[in-house]
Structure 1
Amino acid sequence: MHPLRSLGVLWLLPVALMLKENCVPRKSVPYHSNNALQFGEQGVSNYSTMLLREDLDLLVLGAREAVFALHLSNISNKQASVKWEVTPTQVKECENKGKDRETECKNYIRILHKMKDGRMFVCGTNAFDPECDYLRYKNGELTFDKAGEDGKGKCPFDPFQRYASIMVDDDLFSATSMNFLGSEPILTRSSPGYIRTEFKTSWLQEPNFVSMTWMPESEQSKEGDDDKVYLFFSETAVEFDCYNKLVVPRVARVCKGDLGGQRTLQKKWTSFLKTRINCPVLNSKLPYVIQDSYLWCDFKLPWQNCIIFAIFTPQSDLSDLSAVCAYSMSDISKVFSEGNYKTPVPVGTSFVKWVMYSGEVPVPRPGACINNEARKLGITQSLELPDRTLQFVKDKPLMDQAVEPIEGEPLLIRRGATFTRIIVNQVQAADGQKYHVMFIATEEGTMLKAVNYDGEMFIIEEVQLFQPPQPIKIVIFSNVTGQIYAGSDSGAAQIPLASCERSSSCVDCVLARDPYCGWDTTDEKCVLLSSSQRELIQSVTQGNASLCPVADPVQPVSLSTRPGGELKLSCPSPSHLTNVRWEQNNNVLTFSPRQQILPDALIILNATISDSGRYRCLSVERSKAGEFSTTVADYQVSIDPTDTGNKGLTSVSQPLTDSLSIAGLQAAVALLVISLTALLAWNFYKKHIPLPWKCWTAQNSSSDNNHVVEAGHSFIQKGVIT
């Protein structure tokens, strides 16, 4: 293969990957104030903590040095607010410790949970001295109890450090750092009785906490089991032999009723176990790290049917892929309750290797909750567990088997803006089937809406929520309002589950394959299924637009120009998945120097009499059901020899400055040629590509020189390129 062909193959690799990833949203909705209801106040930032108070019809929003109570149906309507600012003395002390007074030495609200008595438990970073308090909403006002409770071990010191927390029956479970430096990561339960993890690298090593969830595993349990709290995080692995630090995604588990041990593991978790959680992305050599998770459950079914949806991003800067994987709670639980343990084995004098433990496992099983088996042995609480069991789990908290995703692969892989948060909602479509719809937030302030149809990942749309683009830091969903709430540095946004009105025709509505939407033939508009009593047209798995009635023909627009003049015929594409096809007098047009086909227009240059006639622009979109074409624009063009007007470009809906001139094309081509020439010259100079005569000489001197392209690198066996 010629070196230039090798280079061409390399250029095509990203394209091949993009096709495999199926990452193109059908529609991209640019930022507009109508996209979402917005909230933000001047001088306040970091809207990254949210609490749904559906009992009060409120969204409680935590930001920097402020808490807001917003109307749940319209967050633009502020009901109340309260400040929680640090004092000048606290700012000074924080600054003396080397922190920035304008960014770090503030009070960032990080913990916000509802309690049984209706109060809210709130914690803030408090200028690197975390503090907690209780918040009440009464008579339209927010007020603090001013309890001044120590927040260490509950709330992070650093406002930019990842953490996780959950409130279960007024017991706060929190994963954060215990000290100012952020070097003592812990998983704690604040009450009843303070309990935490060991300060050992085998328990937690440089973790990046992500999220926590509670599972009511004691309900109707035949084993008499306890409820569990699961923690998702990434950390530096101890079990791999690497020169550099390797980060792996984890899931850990503790028992809700764990009280610690009597002698061994006093006031420490006796049930802490962790294992790897895999999300294989295109055979990547480095594991992707978890960024967020969402627990979806059908509360009519047992907890084993719950699903964890998680988003993953690469730990290397060499990739810009993000992925979504889904896991069965029964698979996760099985790894902890039945899986093998790993054990450290000394190798030499200064190295420890982790291998699968094959020895005898103590009874009761290490890391298990108190269940019927333990009660038969006279053990009714963790304080009564034998030291042999406790010492085992203290030394071996790591499981050998990793948790694999459902179907063994990601639901979605996408190149571009990094995923930050995810929520999932289940909806029943017109076909009677239920589908999981994923709403995925990104670092660029957009929200993806995606569905997996029998292994086919389909991205319905991508909507820009914030301007300028900025990372979305939190996303939650209310079953009461059917609304999604998102927070970023500059403010909060509220969007519905679906905006069916974005589809203006039946074909567009059906090809959108949105399980929330269908075409109403009576009202002739795309509407929510839940808001209509009529039978709507919908085809989510196939995208069968042939179900639509024949649409009214598009009325042609008359245009004329003089011989030698120019015309621009606009044709806005309804989606990213369509191909545009132009016809002149029912004959398909192809690109030519005088008739230039752009993604959104046809430009006719130096018009002649032969350019007269009927022009139609058709949008062609393919789905599982076939190929569907829709007339988007229709023009009747005439070339008038008596027209004495300017020879400038005539455009239907766009000004001259938007058009593409021949000079512009020539300049662009010239610039491209110069750039490619410079690139090749640089590669020749650096010897990344051999000179043609050297390559020819090498080919003639050895008949065994074969070119191989593997993993994006081109080389010649026994040859010149390495």
Structure 2
Amino acid sequence: MHPLLSLCVFWLLPLALMLEENLRLGCVPRKSVPFDGDHAHLFREEGVFNYSIMLLREDLGLLVLGAREALYALDLKDITKKLASVKWEVTEDEKKECKKKGKDSELECKNYIRILHKMTDNRMYVCGTHAFDPVCDYMSYADGNLTLEKKVEDGKGKCPFDPFQRYASIMVDNVLYSATSINFLGSEPVLMGSSPVAIRTEFKSSWLNEPTFVSMAQMPESEKSEDGDDDKIYLFFSETAVECDCYNKLVVSRVARVCKGDLGGQRTLQKKWTSFLKARMDCPVLESQLPFIIQDTYRWCDPQQHWKDCLFYAIFTPQSGTLDLSAVCAYRVSDISRVFAEGKYKTPVPVETSFVKWVMYSGDVPVPRPGACINNEARKMNINRTLDLPDRTLQFIKDRPLMDQAIQPIGQKPLLVRRGATFTSIIVDNVMAADGEKHRVMFIGTAEGTLLKALNHDGEMFIIEEIQLFQPPKPIKILKISNITGQLYAGSDYGAAQVSLATCERSFSCMDCVLARDPYCGWDKVTRKCIVLSSSQRELIQSVKDGNASLCPDSDPVKPKNHSVWQGGNLRLSCPLPSSLAKTSWELENILLKSSARLQLLKDELLIFNASDSDAGLYRCLSVEHSKTKAYKTTVAEYQVRIAQPVSGKGETVLPRSLTDGHYVSSLQAIVVLLVLCLFALLAWNCYKGHLAIPWKCGKKNGEQGQEANEDGGPNTNVSHQDALRTAVVEEKPLVLGTGSSNNNHTTEEATFSAAGENDAPRINLPSLQCVNNESVI
């Protein structure tokens, strides 16, 4: 290869990768559904906020919802139906005590429900922040009532003090595992198991260093285990990296795990985890130089497969504010388990400077393996409990809980990377398609209150739709799915929402239904509707892998709409697209139109400027959408357009019809013309009768006005100007104006002399002092 060509390839390869990444970032939902009360059931009560804790009680047909100082039992089929509720408020004394500690009495000094789990006896365990003094209680549902038993327990280490601090919890066999802060200041984070003897982490930065807890999950790794392993509790969080040799703090994502049967050590690590191990999690995004931070996870398992085939789906967001990206990565549980069971450890090494450098440990590893659960190999050494572990193993894990190897996602890349609204929560459902293959559909909540419905097939990401659940937009904090009702439930600070997993009714044609590639939906050729697969026994048309709509029958022809426009006028023809992925094309009498100065082809409409006779004819809007098989074209709208012409021989012009309703606007224009004619006729009649002033007479000189008055034979023609002045001097009476308003021009009212004497002299009008007009008729 030529050296110059090699150099070009070397420089263009990163650019090509960047362009490929940008194309993937341009992944848009096929449909965007705005907020509408018909799309989702919404529950909220005035004055109650923070609906962020949910517990599905499918055995009772309930969605138990935890909010600020309140718990609700809602109908699982329709959450707008409140079946029961109970208040759990703080007292005024508790609120005052919280305020003395420097907290906001109306915001922080409330009881935020944070823990809600089902117990084996069908009761529920519930904890709240309780004005920065967390407490727990037991709750039951019977006879249509929610009841708190008021068996108050200390919630420190179980529930956070601060209602806005991240935490995680899970209950396994009536044992609560929680990750939170154990003190008021939030400076002592712990992972704690609340068994009869509480077990927790060490207060060391090498264990937990300014963590932000995300979620917890249990893995039944003892099932069908050949080496007699124990079940594991996994914790996902982010923290400041202790192993980073840098000046600024670097936050990384972690996964940690402990063994379910861990009881702590006998001398070393008393009442502390002896099996606590953690490792870094990577979700590589090409554009980012800093690692993305984990925000939420969901454990997905196929009940018919081994636990090693389970997956963890996780969402990540950037730790710098310059990027507006969010990503979804998937991890195999077997890969995580292998790192903890077989991976190398990191160890701290002091250096000459003040910091400690962490490097891979290359020395001898004690037996039993540090951090491992009690298994058959340990039992052969008469180690049946963690209390029997030797101090050498315990000291090793106390100093070195961090694994050297980072856990990579499936395919070494994210399933989805998208610009826009920040991802906040995720849940996954397994769906059987019409071809018998199962598909994992991801439901992703965002910070703008929208819900993404997406799937990844063979590395291709496809977003089926994006639904606006909350208005005003509020971040979605929790998602739950009920396979019994086929519904999804979302919680936010504003309220709780319920939507169907299958939204087939949004597709009105076979092509639209198939191109949606929704594994829940298929086209029924008999009913000619897009319906849920599980609701029909007939064979439905569906193509999740490829979006192949070639089996769809011909759609019904579109009925043309009539439109008119006058010559030289403008016209707008709309074309509502069935999909955000579709593009439009316009035809006039089967001839493809191209944009010009007079024709503007927009995404969902056509604009015609300065219409002429050549613009008349049949317009057809075509939607073109590409799938993996081919491009599919369908007619969306048709318009029969005519150009209005002047009527020959009469000089009249035919008024145009409106863009939407021509008859209505033509009638309105005729009424306006008739009203204008009537107005002119009324003005002429008033002028003729003398009811209206003639403004141009007011602009003449006073002498001319007097002459006109005398010439017209007005009422004062028998009295001369000199006689009038003489009479006024003899009577020595003042000049008196009429009752109208006076001004310098005397244009509105007459000016008169009024002489009051014994002979009651008559009133004399002076033409030189007045402006004669039609309003001042005497």
TM-score (norm 2): 0.81
- 1:594 and 1:14 mapped to 2: Cα distance? 38
Alpha-carbon distance, 1:18 to partner: 3.9
Quick one: which of 264, 267, 278 aligns to 2:268? 264
Task: Please show how residues 571-650 of structure 1 align to structure 2 within 5 Å.
Answer: 571-642=575-646, 644=653, 650=659
Alpha-carbon distance, 1:16 to partner: 7.0
Quick one: which of 377, 383, 386 aligns to 1:382? 386
C-alpha spacing 1:453/1:16, structure 2 compared with 1 (3 Å)? closer
What is the CA deviation profile of residues 122-148 of structure 1, one whole-angstrom value per residue up to 9, with x for unaligned ones?
000001110100001111111111112
C-alpha spacing 1:640/1:476, structure 2 compared with 1 (3 Å)? same
Task: Please show how residues 362-441 of structure 1 align to structure 2 within 5 Å.
Answer: 362-441=366-445
Q: Does 1:199 align with 2:241?
A: no
Alpha-carbon distance, 1:391 to partner: 0.2
Q: Does 1:239 align with 2:239?
A: no
Amino acid at match of 1:64: R
- 2:202 and 2:213 mapped to 1: Cα distance? 16
- 1:641 and 1:595 mapped to 2: Cα distance? 21
Task: Please show how residues 306-705 of structure 1 align to structure 2 within 5 Å.
Answer: 306-642=310-646, 644=653, 650-651=659-660
Structure 1 counterpart SS, 2:80: strand
Amino acid at match of 2:430: Q
Structure 2 counterpart SS, 1:195: coil
- 2:388 and 2:397 mapped to 1: Cα distance? 15
Alpha-carbon distance, 1:15 to partner: 8.4
- 2:295 and 2:519 mapped to 1: Cα distance? 27
- 2:120 and 2:493 mapped to 1: Cα distance? 30
What is the CA deviation profile of residues 50-106 of structure 1, one whole-angstrom value per residue up to 9, with x for unaligned ones?
001111111100000000000111111111000000111111111111111111110
Alpha-carbon distance, 1:31 to partner: 0.3
- 1:52 and 1:208 mapped to 2: Cα distance? 26
Amino acid at match of 2:659: T
Which structure ranks higher in relative contact order (CA pairs < 8 Å, sequence separation ≥ 6)? 1
Structure 2 counterpart SS, 1:581: strand
- 2:72 and 2:371 mapped to 1: Cα distance? 41
User: Is the Cα contact below 8 Å between 1:62 and 1:109 reproduced in 2?
Assistant: yes
Alpha-carbon distance, 1:615 to partner: 0.5
Q: Does 1:227 align with 2:231?
A: yes
Amino acid at match of 1:485: Y
C-alpha spacing 1:16/1:256, structure 2 compared with 1 (3 Å)? closer
Residue 705 (structure 2) aligns with: none
Q: Does 1:303 align with 2:303?
A: no
C-alpha spacing 1:14/1:405, structure 2 compared with 1 (3 Å)? closer
Amino acid at match of 1:433: E
Residue 700 (structure 1) aligns with: none
Amino acid at match of 1:464: Q
Structure 2 counterpart SS, 1:76: coil
- 2:78 and 2:491 mapped to 1: Cα distance? 15
User: Is the Cα contact below 8 Å between 1:214 and 1:230 reproduced in 2?
Assistant: yes
Amino acid at match of 1:160: F
Alpha-carbon distance, 1:308 to partner: 0.5
Choose 565-574 or 160-169, whichever is displaced more.
565-574
- 1:396 and 1:322 mapped to 2: Cα distance? 32
Residue 41 (structure 2) aligns with: 37
User: Is the Cα contact below 8 Å between 2:344 and 2:403 reproduced in 1?
Assistant: yes
- 1:538 and 1:373 mapped to 2: Cα distance? 52
- 1:17 and 1:639 mapped to 2: Cα distance? 49
Quick one: which of 159, 165, 173 aligns to 2:163? 159
- 2:620 and 2:17 mapped to 1: Cα distance? 35
Which of the pair has more CA radius of gyration? 2
C-alpha spacing 1:382/1:557, structure 2 compared with 1 (3 Å)? same
Residue 291 (structure 2) aligns with: 287
Residue 65 (structure 2) aligns with: 61
- 1:49 and 1:218 mapped to 2: Cα distance? 30
User: Is the Cα contact below 8 Å between 1:105 and 1:128 reproduced in 2?
Assistant: yes
Alpha-carbon distance, 1:616 to partner: 0.4
Choose 20-29 or 203-212, whichever is displaced more.
20-29
- 2:628 and 2:99 mapped to 1: Cα distance? 61
What is the CA deviation profile of residues 679-699 of structure 1, one whole-angstrom value per residue up to 9, with x for unaligned ones?
xxxxxxxxxxxxxxxxxxxxx
C-alpha spacing 1:304/1:152, structure 2 compared with 1 (3 Å)? same
Residue 771 (structure 2) aligns with: none
User: Is the Cα contact below 8 Å between 1:506 and 1:525 reproduced in 2?
Assistant: yes
C-alpha spacing 1:645/1:91, structure 2 compared with 1 (3 Å)? farther
Structure 2 counterpart SS, 1:374: helix
Quick one: which of 145, 162, 172 aligns to 1:168? 172
Quick one: which of 214, 218, 222 aligns to 2:218? 214
Choose 474-483 or 369-378, whichever is displaced more.
474-483
User: Is the Cα contact below 8 Å between 2:240 and 2:250 reproduced in 1?
Assistant: yes
What is the CA deviation profile of residues 443-497 of structure 1, one whole-angstrom value per residue up to 9, with x for unaligned ones?
0000000011111100000000000111001101112212111001111011111
- 1:95 and 1:74 mapped to 2: Cα distance? 39
- 1:234 and 1:649 mapped to 2: Cα distance? 61
User: Is the Cα contact below 8 Å between 1:565 and 1:649 reproduced in 2?
Assistant: no
Alpha-carbon distance, 1:505 to partner: 0.4
Amino acid at match of 1:129: D
What is the CA deviation profile of residues 668-717 of structure 1, one whole-angstrom value per residue up to 9, with x for unaligned ones?
xxxxxxxxxxxxxxxxxxxxxxxxxxxxxxxxxxxxxxxxxxxxxxxxxx
Amino acid at match of 1:58: L
User: Is the Cα contact below 8 Å between 2:18 and 2:286 reproduced in 1?
Assistant: no
User: Is the Cα contact below 8 Å between 1:568 and 1:649 reproduced in 2?
Assistant: no
What is the CA deviation profile of residues 494-516 of structure 1, one whole-angstrom value per residue up to 9, with x for unaligned ones?
11111101000001001101011
Residue 774 (structure 2) aligns with: none
User: Is the Cα contact below 8 Å between 1:521 and 1:536 reproduced in 2?
Assistant: yes
User: Is the Cα contact below 8 Å between 1:64 and 1:107 reproduced in 2?
Assistant: yes
- 1:99 and 1:92 mapped to 2: Cα distance? 10
Amino acid at match of 1:154: K
What is the CA deviation profile of residues 356-375 of structure 1, one whole-angstrom value per residue up to 9, with x for unaligned ones?
00000000000000111111
User: Is the Cα contact below 8 Å between 1:568 and 1:652 reproduced in 2?
Assistant: no
Structure 1 counterpart SS, 2:323: coil
TM-score (norm 1): 0.88
C-alpha spacing 1:489/1:645, structure 2 compared with 1 (3 Å)? farther
Identity of aligned residues (%): 68
Alpha-carbon distance, 1:579 to partner: 0.7
C-alpha spacing 1:46/1:188, structure 2 compared with 1 (3 Å)? same
C-alpha spacing 1:652/1:262, structure 2 compared with 1 (3 Å)? farther
Amino acid at match of 2:525: T
Structure 2's unaligned 5+ residue stretches are: 1-15, 648-652, 666-778
What is the CA deviation profile of residues 605-664 of structure 1, one whole-angstrom value per residue up to 9, with x for unaligned ones?
1110000111000010011110011100001111120484656962469x99xxxxxxxx
